Homo-oligomer: A and B are copies of this chain.
Amino acid sequence: MAAAAGTTEGVQELPNRRVILKRYVTGFPTEDDMEVVTGTVRLAVPPGSAAVLLKNLYVSCDPYMRGRMTKHDRPSYVPDFVLGEALLNFGVSKVIASEHQDLKVGDLVWGMTGWEEYTLISNPQSLFKISHTDVPLSYYTGVLGMPGLTAWAGFFDVGKPKKGEYVFVSAASGAVGQLVGQLAKLTGCYVVGSAGSDEKVNLLKTKFGFDDAFNYKKEQDLNAALKRYFPQGIDIYFENVGGPMLEAVLSNMRNHGRIPTCGMISQYNLEQPEGVHNLFEIVAKRLRVEGFMVFDYFSQYRKFEEEMVGYLNEGKISYIEDIADGLENAPGALIGLYSGRNVGKQLVAVARE
């Protein structure tokens, strides 16, 4: 996206560090699949182009990125990354040059950008201007950005919760899970979360106000664990992980339960995903399993943002970030998601302002 070294007179060029994908991945990704390289960027946008040049402040690490590291024969739901080019994902940036009528130099935005210091965005319609600076800017990669909108839309619009219902959240300390659990508590639900370490379990109970939580890595039998935590069964399962956890949950759902489904992180690095054997539960219990994507809810972003900023300012929602410093640490931060190394929302500070 950043221009190569140009020749136009009077335009300043700067080095531009970027994280590129070196090779497509099968199985578990490693840091070696990526490389931090340095190119250059021209500090200008083509006149009359409606483009903007962004200085990236924070970029987000999100589980779905794994899918873009695979070479697909057929187009996937998000495009594959291009080898040798900067990875792409949501981030928080500052406009440093603009030919776009609604964006001026100095504006703060969030949206899809490159894993690099500077990114030229030819088509900035998908960027959201940041209006609230009374919260940390980095929050726009998480609680006020894509993961926050995912949690809010998935829980309320797909999950259709009612007060008093029993809610289970997997990957519960992650960017989406921590918010789903808190939104469920605000709705008057009983909420249990699962996570992959005792530290995370502790956070769920003490910081995020979950009614209970467990370390799934310590459970021999997920089905038995869920029976223990939900003797009455589960009304809403916010699905982030897939595989054996989904199978155990299906056996513990209540009639007319709902499973908003936005990710299946346990399956992303498997060459052959695990089978789920008890789908007849969907019939027997009249379940609704519904996939959704945050892109379909971008039109509701402002409504969501005001609601969530309100919760944050009133102290009704807590939020934990795990910030890696510098692009050189970005590959490791991304890989860490798939082993659950991060505690809270993982992001990378590219440049602190």
- Chain A 279-320, CB-CB to B under 8 Å as 1, else 0, gives 111111111111111001000000000000000000000000
A223 interface residue (CB < 8 Å to B): no
Copies of this chain present in the complex amount to 2
Interface class of chain A by DSSP: loop
Q: Chain B contacts of A67 at CB under 8 A?
A: 284
Segment at the B interface, from A97-105, A177-185, A262-270 = A262-270
Task: Check if A267 sits within 8 Å of B280, measured CB to CB.
Answer: yes
A59 interface residue (CB < 8 Å to B): no
A272 interface residue (CB < 8 Å to B): yes
A276 interface residue (CB < 8 Å to B): yes
A277 partner, pick from B272, B287, B291, B292, beta carbons under 8 A:
B272
Docked complex Cα distance between A263 and B291 (Å): 21
A287 partner, pick from B262, B273, B281, B291, beta carbons under 8 A:
B291
Closest to A272 in B: B277
Q: Chain B contacts of A29 at CB under 8 A?
A: none
- Chain B nearest CB, measured from A155 CB (Å): 16
A275 interface residue (CB < 8 Å to B): yes
State the 8 A-B residue pairs at the shortest beta-carbon distance, nearest first.
Answer: A275-B275, A282-B291, A77-B284, A283-B291, A289-B289, A288-B290, A286-B291, A273-B277
10 intermolecular pairs with C-beta atoms under 8 Å apart: A77-B284, A77-B285, A263-B283, A264-B283, A267-B280, A273-B280, A275-B275, A276-B277, A282-B290, A286-B291
Task: Knowing that A273-B277, A275-B276, A283-B291 touch, tell me 9 more A-B residue pairs with CB under 8 angstroms.
Answer: A77-B284, A77-B285, A242-B280, A264-B279, A275-B275, A276-B276, A282-B290, A286-B293, A288-B288
